């Protein structure tokens, strides 16, 4: 089906053509009545029929409402013709990401009879964004989230007044391990402890490496008693294992402090750090709650 002069004008006013763009013409109901060949090159299959699939058939279920609303707004002359990102399921069953921008098609009287859309793949851009996010918020050694991510997540929990606890862990005598066995062995110790935390903590718990030998764990919707039990198991299990690290096999121990998530980020961190300081002062290889007398020795 050829484009009319009016449709061509709308197309060029919407976006300059590129070979990676998909051009879609839809009727008022959102049925695709024309699709450029690039649609199939991107992994979509469009039947060769007068009225093809609906625009929403290209969109993953979780994004259909937003795409449908954007299409309706364009036909009604509402909105600012902005780009809308959405996941799509292609013929190879892979979920790929696209963005779409839509403009109404109108007759000589100004009445809308359909819409013209430009759709393009944004998989590469999203991959780059994901890599940038990982580089910004991930500790490269342990692959845990880093201090910046931890602060952001704790701040969110505080702002939302979410119940839960913060646990601070510190590997005992880590500087001595580095000096005696070398930094490579020290790095292996950090990875061993990070893997133990992943294995022993719950799926909802958020684990971050926040310093040289320090780790923070956010325990959402957890009472102090539950947090004490969870973290005590970590301390006890670590002490019972004699890990093979580098050329040596030796026990690794850690100290921990736990505090309830309170009314501010600073006070929550301060109370957890104070509990950790008390645990170290009482001999290390132990857990200390933020209130005196609740330490657990191993």
- Spatial contact of 154 and 269, defined as CB atoms under 8 Å apart: yes
Q: Residue 40 is encoded by which pair of tokens?
A: 């199939």
Rg over CA atoms, the chain:
28
Apex CA 143: angle with CA 140 and CA 144, to 5°?
A: 115
The catalytic residues are 213
CA 72 to chain centre: 30
* Cβ neighbours, 10 Å, residue 70: 23
Q: Residue 268 is encoded by which pair of tokens?
A: 């929550």
- Spatial contact of 79 and 96, defined as CB atoms under 8 Å apart: no
What is d(CA 96, CA 121) in angstroms, rounded to the nearest whole number? 8
* Cβ neighbours, 10 Å, residue 135: 10
What is d(CA 26, CA 221) in angstroms, rounded to the nearest whole number? 48
Q: Which residues neighbour 287 within 8 Å (Cβ) at sequence distance 6 or greater? A: 228, 231, 232, 235, 255, 256, 257, 258, 279, 295, 296
What is d(CA 137, CA 183) in angstroms, rounded to the nearest whole number? 23
What is d(CA 103, CA 74) in angstroms, rounded to the nearest whole number? 5
Q: 103: closest CA among 15, 2, 35?
A: 15
């Amino acid at each position: 089906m050829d484009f009319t002069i009016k449709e061509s004008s709308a197309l060029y006013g919407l976006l300059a053509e590129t070979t990676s763009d998909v051009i879609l013409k839809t009727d008022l109901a959102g049925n695709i009545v024309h699709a450029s060949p690039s649609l199939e090159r991107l992994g979509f299959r469009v039947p060769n029929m007068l009225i093809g699939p609906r625009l929403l058939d290209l969109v993953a279920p979780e994004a259909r409402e937003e795409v449908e609303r954007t299409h309706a707004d364009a036909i009604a002359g509402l909105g600012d013709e902005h780009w809308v990102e959405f996941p799509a399921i292609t013929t190879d069953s892979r979920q790929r990401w696209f963005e779409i921008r839509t403009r109404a098609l109108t007759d000589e009287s100004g009445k809308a009879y359909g819409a013209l859309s430009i759709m393009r793949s944004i998989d590469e851009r999203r991959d780059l964004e994901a890599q940038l996010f990982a580089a910004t918020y991930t500790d490269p050694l342990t692959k845990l989230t880093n201090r910046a991510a931890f602060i952001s997540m704790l701040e969110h929990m505080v702002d939302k007044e979410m119940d839960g606890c913060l646990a601070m862990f510190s590997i005992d005598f880590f500087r001595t391990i580095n000096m005696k066995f070398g930094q490579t062995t020290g790095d292996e110790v950090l990875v061993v402890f990070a893997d133990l935390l992943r294995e022993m903590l719950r799926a909802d718990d958020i684990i971050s490496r926040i310093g040289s030998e320090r780790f923070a764990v956010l325990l959402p919707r957890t009472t102090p008693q539950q947090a004490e039990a969870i973290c005590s198991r970590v301390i006890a299990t670590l002490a019972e294992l004699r890990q093979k690290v580098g050329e040596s096999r030796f026990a690794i121990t850690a100290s921990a402090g736990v505090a309830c998530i309170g009314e501010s980020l600073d006070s929550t961190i301060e109370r957890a750090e104070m509990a950790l300081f008390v645990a170290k002062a009482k001999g290390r290889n132990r857990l200390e709650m933020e209130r005196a007398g609740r330490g657990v020795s191993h």
